[in-house]
Structure 1
Amino acid sequence: MARGGITKINVMDARTRLLARGERASIDAVRIELGNTGSRSTIHRYLKEIEEGDKQTLRDESFLSDEIKKQVIQLATLLHEEASEVVRQQSDQYESELQLLRESLQASEDQVKTMAAELEQQHHQLEQLQQENTALQQSNQALTVQQELARQQQQHLEQQVSRQQQHIESLEDKHRQARDSLNHYRESVKNHNEQMQREHDRALQQAHAEVRELKQSISVKQDELTRATSEQARLFSQLSESRQQNSRLDQVVSEQRKTYDRQSQHVGQLEQRLSGQDQQLSDLRQKLAQLELLEVQVPTLKAELAVKDALIREYMTAGDGDDPSLQPDSGPVSSSEPED
């Protein structure tokens, strides 16, 4: 690209060098001598001014002496040498600046390549993050499904616990009623047995009293045996009747004992049934303890699902915030593609 800012001195130096080499100082030749810098119109204007100045110098030389002309030529030569030195220094400086610019351009190209590689790597990382985000979303959906299943299972367990609790309460009521009935039956049997025992004791006491009376009577009658045979026969008849009555009383007592044994056997069966109900109640209480343990574990599972859900939302938020940070790096790549 052409650079502006050439001066009349630059054009004069270029023209002098061309004339010193015996070349024609045209506009293109001067421009090439200046390193393809400056516009043709500017070079043409400076050349025209220089040529007019030379003509004026030639017109003025006719009025100068040889000594002055000689000094003028020496001064012009000295100015030309100094100007050539300045041009050379500027040319060297230009070459140094050009070399620095080339190195800077190379460094910029290397940096662009590095940034392009980094951008490619960041695109690859972005694709990986998007894949991971998709996997996390799928995992989140699976966790949501599991959470819903856990909630349904919890509701089912709560319903089951409620039914079990109602069943246990019903069994406890039945158990309490059965125990009350058994206690009432025991009390009733006890009262009945006590009453039968009292009646039996009264009958025995009465029989013993009668026996004592009979013995007294027999003792009296034995004393009177010699006095009355008929009285003896009567006494033997009364004694036989008393013995028959004692036999009947013994049979009644035996039947009451059999009844008591049957009632005791029935009470034993009731106690066995009550023991079986106690075992069933113990099993139900164990199941209730297991259900309560599940109820304790359900909040823990909910807390873990909530933590994972929060971590997933935080990671998704962080992934959405990283996407715009990659946009500024895409500018150098798009601007370098036309140069390639």
Structure 2
Amino acid sequence: MSTASMTSSRIFRKLVFASCTAGAALLLFRSIPPMAVNHRPYSPPVHRDGQFSNATKEKYRRSFKFSLEPRSYKRRMPQRFWENKRNERGSEFDFVLLPTKPFCNPEHWLLLVVKSAVAHFNERMSLRNVLAKIKSSQLRIIFVLGKDSSANYNAVQESKFYNDIVVGNFEDTYANLTIKTLLSLKFVTRFCRDVKFIASVDDDVVMSISGIINYITALEANKNVVHCGDHLNKAAKVTRKGKWAIQIAKYDTTYYPPYCNGVCYIMSYEAASALHEMSLVTPSDIPIDDALITGILREKARIDLEKMPRGLCEHHSKR
């Protein structure tokens, strides 16, 4: 056999060997099962209308955190509340009647601001008696009312005797409860700047004053918080029907920000002042005062929300 033939035979045998080796390797590779890798991006389960599923809602309820992003889950507010425009309802927040003597001084540590109805004189007397028994110069109480068109009540006489009545330039109706609360913030920021803490309460509340004092004693380190007394509503859905119905034109998103839903909440003067400043440039046409003050305004002012221990303040009906 010639040299050329031997060379060609060797080359052919090498090519055949290489081809067989590659084929065996390919068969071996194909016999290995593929890795179980899911390349599909995760997306939370949603319904057809774009709302989160119940499972996802429950997950967020269990691990709730107070994100301050305007568009985060369950904390979205309509854009008109984020815009800073002068509140056009200024005349309703004027004072018709104020205490005749200087009201607050640096000695006062806790101011109880009570939203009271005109006809609830007995409720006001009950709260006055509670504070009288404590006999603390660090506590002060003020009752905020609206005007009474029936002329069956003389606020001036009660104010002269107790010097703890504020009357605003609006009718004393349940629908004006938001205005009453905003007037309370205005009174605090104008006349009680030396007070350290403010408790906003209803006049039908049963309070543990000593318990509240013990609770807020340790709060001075963190002043940028509103403390809910009875219930912290983390996922309040906007109602479109019934007594608390809100038109979509006023509030076009599904949920309110988390807010204090109950008879009382406590905050520092700094927090109260921040809420008052926000109220001057934010629409106030939401009749649910807790949702507006401790929800919308608090969210806009970037103030945190916490829950107080049970039993510090409750409705009379719960006792």
Taking structure 2 as the reference length, the TM-score comes to: 0.24
Q: Whose Rg is larger?
A: 1
Taking structure 1 as the reference length, the TM-score comes to: 0.23
* Higher share in helix: 1
